[in-house]
Amino acid sequence: MKFKRRVAILIVLFIIFIVVAPTILFFALGYTFDFELKRFIPTGTLTVFSDPRGATLSINGDEHWKKTPLRKRYLKPGEYEIKIQKEGYTPWVKLVKIFPQIVTTVPGPGQKINLFFNNPTATLVSTSSAELLEMEAIDNHLTATSTLAFEKLAKERNLFSETLMNSLPTYTKIKVAIGQSGQIFALLDNNLYDLTTNSLFLVDNNITDIVWDENAQILLYFNRNNILIYQPEISQRNQLITRSSKDIEQVQVNKPSGHVFYLESGKIKAVEIKNDMGRSIVEIVSLDEPVEKFLVDKDGRKIYYFIHNQGLFSAQIR
C-alpha cells in the first residue's frame, strides 16, 4: 500500500473517530441528539416496579419489549402517558414527568404499582353481616362513641387534663379515635379536633366520620363528597385524597396496598394515597345490587362486602 493511501486512510479514520467518539461519550453520559433542536440534550430514566411482576409497559401508546420490573433509559424530558397492564388486571394509567439526568421511579421510590384484578370472583361467606362486624371490631382502633364512654375512657387512661375536658365545646354526638402512640382525635358532632398535645386543635369541620389507621399512622376522615387524611407530624397536615360528586358512605385506609378504599353510591373504589404523580382511582367491586358495607384485610389483597338480602361475600382483589 502506497504511503499516500495509508495516510489518507489514517486521516479518514481520525475524522470518523473525531465525529463518533463525542457521540458515544454523550450517549454514555445520558445524552441524545435532538434533530429538531439540532443539538445534544440530556435525557432521563424511567424505572417501573409492579405487583405482580411481568406487566407490560406502554409509553405514549408504544409498548416496551421488557416486562416489569424494568428500566427505560434515554427518554427526552417531558410528560409521558405511562400504562401498566397485565392480563386479568385493571390497567394502571398515569401521566409521568421525565426530568433530565434524573431517574424517575414509578409509582415512587421504594414503592410498587399494585394492580387489582379486573373481575374478582366473589364467594358467599354468610347470609348475615355478623361476621363482617365481628372482624371489623377485632381489627379496629380503640374508639368511644358516646359521652359516657368517652369520659370513662379519658379518666381510666388519664388521657388529658380535666381543664381540657371542661374546655370541650358543647356537643350531642361524639366519636374518639385513640392511637397506641398517644394520638387522640375527637369528632364532636361534625367538628374534628386533635387532642394529642393536651390542647384543643380544630382540624376540620363538616365531617361525617373518622378512621385511625395504626399501621399507616394516618387519620382518615370524610364527608359526603370528600376524603382527606390528617398527619400532624408533617407540614401539610390536611391532604385531600379524592373528591366525588356522589355520596361517600364508608372509607378504609390500607398501607400495604397504598390505597384508600371507599364506598361510593354502593360501589367499592380504591384511590392511591401518594400524590407524587397524581392519584389514580380503580373500581374494585361494581355490582347491580349496591354494597352496604365492606372490609379490606390487612394485606389489601382480600375484600369482604355485604349486600342486603344476599349476604356477606369475599373476593381476592390482588
- Considering the domain architecture, whether residues 193 and 225 belong to the same structural domain is answered as no
The CATH number linked to 307 is 2.120.10.30
pLDDT of residue 177: 83
Confirm whether 89 is domain-assigned: yes
Say if residue 134's pLDDT is above 80: no
- Considering the domain architecture, whether residues 133 and 244 belong to the same structural domain is answered as yes
- Give tens-digit pLDDT for 6-21: 666 666 666 765 666 5
Strand pairing of 113-114 and 50-51? parallel
- Considering the domain architecture, whether residues 317 and 243 belong to the same structural domain is answered as yes
Confirm whether 228 is domain-assigned: yes
Say if residue 178's pLDDT is above 70: yes
Say if residue 303's pLDDT is above 90: yes
Higher pLDDT, 278 or 272: 272
pLDDT of residue 108: 79
Say if residue 155's pLDDT is above 90: no
- Taking residues 116-135, report their average pLDDT: 79
- Considering the domain architecture, whether residues 310 and 227 belong to the same structural domain is answered as yes
Confirm whether 5 is domain-assigned: no
Final residue of a domain: which of 213, 248, 263?
Answer: 213
Confirm whether 107 is domain-assigned: yes
Q: Which of 95, 119, 103 is nearest to 279 (CA)?
A: 95
- Considering the domain architecture, whether residues 158 and 285 belong to the same structural domain is answered as no
- Considering the domain architecture, whether residues 128 and 262 belong to the same structural domain is answered as yes
- Considering the domain architecture, whether residues 148 and 264 belong to the same structural domain is answered as no
pLDDT of residue 36: 72
- Give tens-digit pLDDT for 62-117: 888 789 999 998 898 999 999 999 999 999 999 999 999 889 998 878 888 999 99
52-66, 127-141, 174-188, 226-240: the lowest-pLDDT one: 127-141
pLDDT of residue 193: 92
Q: Of the segments 4-8, 118-122, 130-134, 285-289, which one has the largest average pLDDT value?
A: 118-122
- Considering the domain architecture, whether residues 121 and 96 belong to the same structural domain is answered as no
pLDDT of residue 26: 53
Range(s) of the domain holding residue 148: 142-213
pTM: 0.79
What's phi and psi for 135, nearest 5 deg? -65, -40
Q: Which of 175, 151, 173, 177 is nearest to 164 (CA)?
A: 151
Answer whether 153's CB lies under 8 Å from 175's CB: no
Say if residue 283's pLDDT is above 90: yes
Say if residue 147's pLDDT is above 80: no
Confirm whether 291 is domain-assigned: yes
Number of structural domains found in the chain: 3
Q: Name the residue type at position 196.
A: T
| C-beta neighbour count of 279 within 10 angstroms | 17
Final residue of a domain: which of 162, 192, 213?
Answer: 213
The CATH number linked to 53 is 2.60.40.10
| C-beta neighbour count of 39 within 10 angstroms | 9
Confirm whether 35 is domain-assigned: no
Element (H, E) at 157: helix 147-157
Say if residue 297's pLDDT is above 50: yes
- Considering the domain architecture, whether residues 316 and 303 belong to the same structural domain is answered as yes
Confirm whether 21 is domain-assigned: no
- Considering the domain architecture, whether residues 222 and 183 belong to the same structural domain is answered as no
Answer whether 312's CB lies under 8 Å from 126's CB: yes
pLDDT of residue 150: 63
- Taking residues 281-296, report their average pLDDT: 90
Strand pairing of 291-296 and 302-307? antiparallel
pLDDT of residue 27: 60
Across the chain, mean pLDDT equals 82
- Considering the domain architecture, whether residues 247 and 121 belong to the same structural domain is answered as yes
Q: Cα separation of 196 and 65, whole Å?
A: 52
Strand, helix or coil for residue 12: helix
Confirm whether 236 is domain-assigned: yes
What 8-state DSSP symbol labels residue 148?
H
Rounded percentage of the chain residues whose pLDDT exceeds 90: 39
Say if residue 139's pLDDT is above 50: no
Say if residue 251's pLDDT is above 80: yes
Rounded percentage of the chain residues whose pLDDT exceeds 70: 76
- Considering the domain architecture, whether residues 230 and 303 belong to the same structural domain is answered as yes
Say if residue 286's pLDDT is above 70: yes
pLDDT of residue 180: 77
pLDDT of residue 137: 46
Say if residue 287's pLDDT is above 90: no
Say if residue 138's pLDDT is above 50: no
Q: Cα separation of 287 and 268, whole Å?
A: 9
Say if residue 173's pLDDT is above 70: yes
